[in-house]
Amino acid sequence: MLSTRLQALPREARDTLFLLAVIGLILLPQGPNLPWWCSTLAAIVLLWRGTLAVQGRPLPARGWRIALLALTLVATYSTYRTLLGRDAGVTLVVILLALKTLELRARRDAFVIFFLGFFTMLTNFFYSQSLATAFAMLLALLGLLTALVNAHMPVGKPPLMQAARTAGGMALLGAPIMLVLFMLFPRMAPLWGTPNDAMTGRTGLSNTMRVGSVAELALDEGIAARIKFDDGRVPPRTTLYFRGPVLSRFDGREWSAPPPFSRSAAPRNLRVRGAPVGYEVTLEPSNRPWVLTLDAAPRRPELAGYELFATPELQWVATRPIGDMVRYRAESYAEFESGPTRRSAVLQDEVALPPGSNPRTVALAAQMRADPALAGASTPALVQNVLQRLRTGGYAYTLEPGLFGDDSADEFWFDRKAGFCEHIASSFVVLMRALDIPARIVTGYQGGEINGVDNFWVVRNSDAHAWAEVWQQGAGWVRVDPTGAISPDRVGQFRRLAPQPGLIAGAIGAMNPTLSQNLRAAWEAVNNGWNQWVLNYTQSRQLDLLKTLGFAAPSLQDLALVLLALLVVASLAGAGWTLWERSQHDPWLRLLGRARQRLRRAGVEAPDSASPRQLAARLSERFGSGAEPVRQWLLRLEAQRYAKAPGDALSALRSEFRRLAWPR
């Protein structure tokens, strides 16, 4: 068996294999974040070092290590064009940790690896603070502590389980201190950045939209945001439009958002009606400055640590990218109007089309204007006519439309008649502009689903959507979702185009169709609890904790004072524990120690290794019969220890000790 073979190995080989396994656990979550060559080289080095340990062969010469280090530096610079920064730094740390195992000869080398391993553990949180990452690093922490304890057991071949129990006890003893520091240590922004955004070919949001450049859209089932509606009252599903970038500039192929020329504390020209909807959003890190809200939010969301402003397009934007998971409150109105109510030069950009772009669509608009049935038709009538064309013209909603050419609207309306939401919204807006109707594209998220375990409304990246807004006289900007005309289920019933399940998920779904969904909901609810109580434990929540402790207006200074007070109390408790532990030592040994001190003051040699009988003999040699009572007392003390003396004999000896006339 494998365990038997491992036990048969020399201790050095066994301990080395265990340490290599722990290092592998530390590096495993970094795989998706590292260049392929880095993961491959680290794996080869660890396997090489393990083979050398099992076979008992000598470690490679120094030249090999220098060559591998030089290769790493060259490869890192070639990959990142720098040796500094987060990604390049993590790559170097990972390789250095692996290469250090090739010179693991003495305990000193092991200690270097231990502490380099602790540092490498932290780098995993540069990329992900998820519950899975935290659990993996907890196992790695216990593994490193076990290896560290084992290294302090130089004698024999102690079992690893014994070191693991000691390491676990150390971790449990330190857990209360870690909890207090987590609760009260001042919250600070991370010192690292976030991964670069790479949404090409996947569902998600961007401030540009290049129509037709993606032949097949991959559904990203990752969570974009979680929403907790006040009192659990979820608005009608058809109104769940979470506003993102508004794209009004078109160069014939790509839509882009205009720069925010004006910044205001509240959206301008926004007119709301009805009752507001209150909710709390937990937004996943996006490395974008967009703060998602339901259409439309007239007041600034309550997001601590960020300065927010409203754009003229009703979008809330932060002054810096949101690189961490954040939580904020917002209030929105489902019934609203925005923008100017009369046509003016301000709307000219929303009518512009590049010269010569999409000629067949422009011709279709001219044909519609020339139709007697539409002569003098209002904007709502023209919009309804186009939506009817989408409903009855054989158009389809698909994630695999193929690549489009430069005139993507022409291809959609007349050739392919299929696309996902960006094709549909773009083609619709191009036709509206050709009809001389101001129109623009709004991107964001539409819909979502309820998690039945924790009752949070979950919005995924696969819910990313694009719709249109057209301008109407007297009403301003009005939302129109042309995708709903082609596929009502996309907006109403929320029957999404779903990706093919994986092998395990497919097998579970085949056995029990609802089991896979329930398992995912339970796992996401657990992750949400981790997000709400750990990752979102912000400075404001720390101050709220102080309020519950009786502070009327808590501040960071109060937080520091409470933390200092707890540290003082913990120190006093530790001192008290030490005194109590000392009092629990063997009372017989303490009494013998006091006797040794008396004898030493009298000039009798009394080493710590001497027994009471030996001390009695040395006392007689020095003082003869003049110290007979003390000699007899020492003999009775030894008898109490090794003979069958009554239990209260030690108390009697302790009382007699105080009455004896000790020689001087």
pLDDT digits (tens, 9 = 90+) for 169-179: 888 888 888 88
pTM reported for the whole predicted model: 0.63
Identify the pLDDT of residue 188: 55
- Cα separation, 23 vs 166, in Å, equals 20
- Spell out where 516-602 has E strands: none
Asked if the model's pLDDT at residue 510 lies above 70, the reply is no
Looking only at the bridges linking them, the beta strands covering 464-472 and 457-460 are: unpaired
Residues 6+ apart with CB under 8 A from 503: none
23-32, 326-335, 460-469, 634-643, range with the lowest pLDDT: 634-643
- List CB contacts of 133: < 8 A, sequence separation 6 or more: 29, 124, 125
- pLDDT for the residue numbered 605: 86
pLDDT at 563: 79
Q: Read off the pLDDT of each residue in 533-556 and give the average, rounded to a whole number.
A: 71
Mean pLDDT computed over 64-93: 87
Q: Average pLDDT of the chain?
A: 82
Q: Residue 31 pLDDT > 50, yes or no? A: yes
| Contact in structure between 459 and 480 (CB atoms under 8 Å) | no
- What is the average pLDDT across 245-271? 82
Is the pLDDT at 198 greater than 60, yes or no? Answer: no
Chain center to CA of 16: 31
Note the pLDDT of residue 413.
92
DSSP letter, residue 536: T
What is the pLDDT at residue 511?
58
pLDDT at 400 over 90: no
Average of pLDDT values for 553-575? 79
Are the CB atoms for 293 and 283 separated by under 8 Å?
Answer: no
pLDDT number for residue 190? 44
Mean pLDDT to the nearest integer, 27-52: 89
Range with lowest mean pLDDT among 62-66, 138-142, 262-266: 262-266
The pLDDT tens digits for 204-233 are 577 788 886 655 555 677 788 999 998 878
Q: State residue 201's pLDDT score.
A: 40
- Residue 516 banded pLDDT, cuts 50, 70, 90: low
Q: What is the pLDDT of residue 522?
A: 73
Question: Residue 253 — pLDDT band, cuts 50, 70, 90?
Answer: confident
Return the structure tokens found at 193.
């950045």
554, 546 Cβ separation under 8 angstroms: yes
pLDDT above 70 (res 299): yes
Q: CA 516 → CA 220, 522, 576, 614, distances in Å?
A: 17, 10, 53, 77
| For the chain, percent of residues with pLDDT exceeding 90 | 16
Residue 197 pLDDT: 35
pLDDT at 278 over 90: yes
- Identify which of 105, 76, 78 has the alpha carbon closest to the alpha carbon of residue 91: 76
> What pLDDT sits at residue 385?
92
pLDDT of residue 193: 38
**What mean pLDDT comes out for the span 409-437?**
91
**Res 398: pLDDT:** 84
Q: What is the pLDDT of residue 158?
A: 77
Is 80 exceeded by the pLDDT of residue 264?
A: no
Rounded CA-CA distance 249/256 in Å is 5
Mean pLDDT of 25-36: 88
pLDDT at 495: 46
Helices (H), ranges, 28-130: 36-55, 62-80, 86-100, 107-123
Is it the case that residue 344 has pLDDT exceeding 90?
A: no
Burial class, 467, CB count within 10 angstroms (exposed 0-12 / middle 13-18 / buried 19+): buried
Report the C-alpha gap between 379 and 54 in whole angstroms: 80
What are the angstrom distances between the C-alpha of 664 and each of 432, 461, 616?
Answer: 114, 88, 15
Mean pLDDT of 619-638: 85
